[in-house]
Structure 1
Amino acid sequence: MMRIKYAFLCLLVWCFSSCHSGKYPENVDGTDSLLFYVNPVSTGFLGRHVLFHQGMYYCIQGWMSGIYLRVAEDVTLLKEKEFRNVWTSADPSVGNIDDAELHYIDSKWYVYFTGNDNNLDNRCIYVLENDSPDPLKGTFRLKGRIDTDKENHVAMFSTVFQQDGRLYLVWCGWPSRRIYEETQCIYIAEMENPWTLSSERVLISKPEYEWECQWVGIDGNRTAYPIYVNECPQVFRSLRQDKILLYYAASGRWTPYYCEGMLMADASADLLDSTSWKKCPVPVFSSNTADKLYAPSIVCFIPSPDETEYYYLYKVRKDLEDMFISLEKYEVCMQKVEWDKDGIPILGCPQRQDTLLRKPSGTPRANND
């Protein structure tokens, strides 16, 4: 009965989610226009993760053998800031850096990223630590590789969150080495410290619905073998803080079917019990075909500067050509979080990009000159 009620809730969220377009505010002069922005806020190279900390937005990017940061008080101006290299790998086995996230845990900065030795079957998660109050200062040091399982299966797209004084790692991984197909699943484990797991990994999501298992593009482009995808997990909470919401990207990123799914668990539940997590049976964020905005996903939630509102960043495509070879054509957009009656975000689909949107509450106007 609970599963039926949850499925019904998800269907309601999906049905009432709209691709509404905002209205242009009347009488917007040159001064007032500093309060508004238009999507996209950046190209796809902005990075997939932005962290708000003490009035500043930190955007992180892993590239080649380095980790790069940019910072701004106005999240819509991150694209104008220079990326600064804060760490470079000296170990050739820790290369092809990607999927970086920045977190502040127990008064220290930690960077989680994926690296490999030029063999994609050896992708794994690494952690950097910096004890400086400012992540652009001090020194990031490699704490090492996180051993996510005894067989060292592929692990990538990691994120961390704290609940009731316990620290958890969530990531995308393989259940086993690929042979004729590849399946990317979502796992969770508890952490002894920010670089060491204290429990076995627990599978909480695998591609099972049709909308999670698309791997052939609309133009027929496909990978050499089937790849079924659950990846890029991000953790958020309901408005009343009583639910843990885990968003993830589903289906092949090289297809227009790429979309966002969601798992939900009670905040008081045993998060290492796979039955605590309930999957929404429909996507919670998908294409706006009317405005030709495709494959929206890889969401990242951030508060407004005064922390009275929440927004979500996401990546989206505006064309269906060369999706397999032109992943860099993704753009980064931002929308305000709207909530349903149960305090669950309504994501819907991307708003049309000619819409003038109000900047997050508390955004400093002085920095927009």
Structure 2
Amino acid sequence: MRTCLLLITLFLCFSCGNKSSKKEDAGAEPGTYVNPLFSEGTDPSAVFHDGTYYYTHGTEDKIMLWATSDITDMEHATCKVVWKPEDPSMASHLWAPEIHRIDNKWYIYYAADDGNTDNHQLYVLENTSPDPMQGEFKLKGSIMTNPEWNWGIQATTFEHRGEHYLLWSGWPKRRSNAETQCIYIARMKNPWTLDTPRVMISKPEYEWERQWVNPDGSRTAYPIYVNEGPQYFHSKDNKKIIIYYAASGSWTPYYCLGMLTADADSDLLDPSSWTKHPTPVFRQVPENEVYGPGGISFIPSPDGTEWYMLYHARKVTNGDTGSPETRSIRLQKIGWDAEGMPDLGTPVALDVPLPKPSGTPVK
């Protein structure tokens, strides 16, 4: 038994610690941090609850959860593997896990398949413990997004005026010789069940949303037009609902963020309520060696006076089609423009010292 516990401990330490960035090598000054937070990773997500950030990102065959009071110091965060599926029908390609606290319970949304990415579906885990690092995450179920049981990835949820909604990326119909990923929304009956049919609120239509060939000519086996990774946010006065999403192929430097907006008083299930910004709002900056930024999520500073975005990006132009995974996890402060809309700024280069979020505990 002791040997078993030792092996489990060693496994957890290796699994949770081997991808974090080495901050001591970067030479950040006191009160500052440098990116990346993790040297490898995709689709970061975190919530801030009772003084602690609970963080996760995609790791393909399991779901890991980190806990820390300092989001910029993930090397020293507590980490735990909270889910590793045994059912082969849902044991592969665990993408974009997100943790949420709903009705005093913890939920993790993620996508998984049977080894064939064409079979990706959405799943929900539930943990009733007050501390998500304690208790047990149990499979609550899969989310049927439409009667045909069609493909879905990168789910997120939000509450607006007493109603819970689910956002995700899905296909209008089963892929044949091409693939089109769209953004869908539905109202929820409970954290694992939809209460309304899905409604498409965005599809890849602009040229900047439809890039799938790399500058060197490498490409996927067939055209893939992408709207994915939706994330809820809001204007400073909460009068506008904002959905950010990633567009174009994640394996290309053209991967970027688009934006949808709707009036807070509008019917969020009416496609006409949503307006798409005609240009990207966050994109590659070659002079900073930042390519393909996406996978965005938002967190407050510990004292609640600032907002930050977590995202992934790569330092080279090409991605998954011809080279190893090179995306890393970054954190960057956002601002507000004159109309009170979020100003995401531009991606900052790696290893540039940045002030820690306001209220971060001094160690």
Same structural fold, with TM-score higher than 0.5 when normalized by the shorter chain: yes
Return the match for 1:333 from 330, 333, 351. 330
Aligned counterpart, 1:273 = 270
- Give 1:205-220 correspondences, 5 Å limit: 205-220=202-217
**1: CA distance, partners of 2:42 / 2:150:** 29
- Pick closer, same or farther for the CA change 1:205–1:46 going to 2, 3 Å: closer
Structure 1 match to 2:8: none
Correspondence list, 1:344-355, <5 A? 344-355=341-352
Correspondence 1:243 to 2:240: yes
Q: TM-score, normalised by structure 1?
A: 0.87
| Structure 1: distance between partners of 2:88 and 2:319 | 31
Q: Per the alignment, do residues 63 and 321 of structure 1 end up closer, same or farther by CA in structure 2, a change over 3 Å counting?
A: closer
Q: What is the aligned length? A: 336
Give the distance between the partners of 1:62 and 1:255, measured in 2 at CA: 19
Take 2:103 and 2:248, find their aligned partners in 1: how far apart are those partners? 36
How does 1:184-263 map onto structure 2 within 5 Å? 184-263=181-260
Secondary structure class of the residue paired with 1:40: coil
The aligned runs of 1:1-369 (5 Å cut-off) are: 33-45=29-41, 47-96=43-92, 97-321=94-318, 324-326=321-323, 328-366=325-363
Q: CA shift at 1:61, angstroms?
A: 3.5
Distance 1:322-1:250 versus aligned 2 partners, 3 A rule:
closer
**Cα distance, 1:58 vs structure 2:** 1.1
Does the 8 Å CA contact 2:42/2:295 hold for their aligned counterparts?
Answer: no
Q: Which has the higher contact order (CA 8 A, sep 6+)?
A: 1
1:307 positional shift: 0.6
Which letter maps to 1:304? S
Query: Whole-Å Cα distance in 2 between the matches of residues 139 and 335 of structure 1?
Result: 32
Query: Secondary structure at 1:83's aligned position in 2?
Result: strand
Q: Secondary structure at the match of 1:275?
A: helix
Matches of 1:322 and 1:302 in 2, distance apart? Answer: 27
Q: What code does the residue aligned with 1:142 have?
A: L
RMSD of equivalent CA atoms: 1.7
CA distance in 1: counterparts of 2:338 and 2:307, whole angstroms: 16
Structure 1 residues 258 and 79: alpha-carbon distance in aligned structure 2, compared to 1, 3 A threshold: farther
- Residue-by-residue CA offset, 1:100-126 (whole Å, 9 max, x unaligned): 110000000001010111222211001
- Are residues 250 and 163 of structure 1, via their aligned partners in 2, closer, same or farther at CA, if it must alter by over 3 Å? same
C-alpha contact (below 8 Å) 1:254/1:327 kept by paired residues: no
1:328, CA displacement in angstroms? 2.4
TM superposition shift of 1:68: 1.1
Contact 1:46–1:59, Cα closer than 8 Å, also in 2: no
Unaligned runs of at least 5 residues, structure 1: 1-29
Whole-Å separation in 1 of the counterparts to 2:91 and 2:37: 29
Query: C-alpha offsets along residues 332-369 of structure 1, whole Å, 9 cap, x if unaligned?
Result: 22211111011111123212334321100000012xxx
CA deviation profile, 1:186-214 (whole Å, cap 9, x unmatched): 00000000000000000000000000000
Q: Deviations over 1:188-241 (max 9, x none)?
A: 000000000000000000000000000000110111110000001111111111
State the secondary structure of the residue aligned to 1:211: helix
Shifted more, 135-144 versus 72-81: the winner is 72-81
Contact 1:154 1:173 in 2 (8 A): yes
Give the direction of change, closer, same or farther, for the CA distance of 1:60–1:353 in structure 2 (3 Å limit).
Answer: closer
Give the ranges of 4+ consecutive aligned residues of structure 1 lying more than 4 Å apart after TM superposition: none
CA contact (8 A) 1:46 1:79 kept: no
